[in-house]
Amino acid sequence: MAFPSTPCSLWSVSLLAALLASVVHSNAGYEEDPLQPMTSDETVSVGGTVTLTCWVTETDNSSLQWSNTAQQTLYFGEKRALRDNRIQLHRSTPTELSITISNVELSDEGEYTCSIFTMPVRTARATVTVLGVPGKPQISGFEDAVPEGDKVTLTCTSTGSKPPAKLRWYRGDQELEGSSNVVEAVPNMPSTSMVRSELTLEVSRSDDDAYITCVVDHASLAPGDKRTEQALRVLYSPNVQISPESDLPREGEKFHLQCEGNGNPEPTIYNWRKKDGELPPLAKVDGAYLRFEMLNKSDNGVYFCQVDNGIGQSEGEYKLLVQDPTAMTTTSGMDHAVIGGVVAVIVFILLCLLIVLGRYLIRHKGTYLTHEAKGSDDAPDADTAIINAEGGHSGAEDKKEYFI
């Protein structure tokens, strides 16, 4: 369907085409214009310092200017325009204007404008993002010790974060799975959030004195920078072990058994009994100790200790076997006799070796002297006498004939 051409419609089309051409030319000029100012977006935490820098490639001696989010002039070249001591001049050259804003507040977030007063005026914008620093996490929900096997729910809360922080749970180095983080607005700080997370645990005796940690994870913090620990206290029934005073209880000596109950809280009640009978007359109960004033063979048997710490009861046993001191002495004497016999055999062998060696040396010396006597008649010295004694006469005569 064709629409009729009118002067008004032609004018509108021409105007739209001109605007499009102007936008394309403006964008191309932004990339190529050496007088077009340039900036960069910045992120800063509450209480920190941010530096805003505006620069151009070339200059025609026109001044650069920074304006805040309310379009109030902050600096015009080197000249301060707004009386805010937090805002200071960092650097001013013909091609650059840098300012700093210290002790940044949440209200400082927004778009800042850099302008250069050429014909026409050119501008660039920088967005400042302010991070709300979360507060130290607080753990609640645990006040008193809980019995083994019960469940405990801990709640961790942190306020003041922007954007909302993430809360993580740990037991030692092991990360635990908590509930999803719940984010709520803070009434007096509407741009920040309160974050809450819960952790439910079924505790065991191994959790007693264990530390549960809540850590805040946020862009404004270093890892683990803000954390809170909560120590768990778990109540559990005792484990019982009976320790003897000596591994060799001897008849006629003093002796005691100690009942050790490891529980939380520590046991306060100890009950001693003997299997298939009453405790011996000379056995006295002294709390965790069962003391024997003088051991007797009749004390042999199995003894039980039952402890109670208010959370539960446990029982341990020990089999007592009283040793006969006479038998132990005889056994000890037999051991000494065996050792003495071994030593005697070794000494006898050494003496025999010495006797054999002495006889050998004596016989060897006698043979040497006998040979020396046989050849001494015709020899000028002892060595020659030995040689002559062993059949060396003919050699001597040959030697004598040689000199003649």
Q: Which amino acid is at 294?
A: M
Residue 192 tokens read as 């920040």
What is the structure's pLDDT at 4?
38
Q: Which residues of the chain have pLDDT under 70?
A: 1-31, 327-337, 364-404
> How far is the C-alpha of 30 from the C-alpha of 233, rounded, in Å?
67
> How far is the C-alpha of 208 from the C-alpha of 309, rounded, in Å?
16
What is the structure's pLDDT at 2?
37
The closest alpha carbon to 238, from 262, 221, 222, 268, belongs to 262
Range(s) of the chain covered by CATH 2.60.40.10 = 36-131, 138-232, 237-325
What is the structure's pLDDT at 10?
30
What is the structure's pLDDT at 31?
53
Angstrom CA distances, 73 to 36, 84, 98, 113, stand at: 19, 11, 14, 9
Cis preceding linkage at 187, omega within 30: no
84-98 burial by CB neighbour count: b if 16+ within 10 A, else e?
eeebebeeeeeeebb
The closest alpha carbon to 156, from 200, 202, 211, 214, belongs to 214
pTM over 0.85: no
CATH number for the domain whose boundaries are 237-325: 2.60.40.10
Please state which CATH class domain 36-131 belongs to. Answer: mainly beta
- What topology is assigned to 138-232 in CATH? Immunoglobulin-like (2.60.40)
What is the structure's pLDDT at 1?
37
What is the structure's pLDDT at 381?
57
Helices (H) and strands (E) in the chain, counts: 4, 25
What is the structure's pLDDT at 177?
94
> How far is the C-alpha of 47 from the C-alpha of 147, rounded, in Å?
46
Residue 193 tokens read as 């959030």
What is the structure's pLDDT at 380?
59
Beta strands 42-45 and 122-131, pairing class = parallel
Q: What is the pLDDT of residues 354-365, one digit of tens each?
A: 888 888 787 766
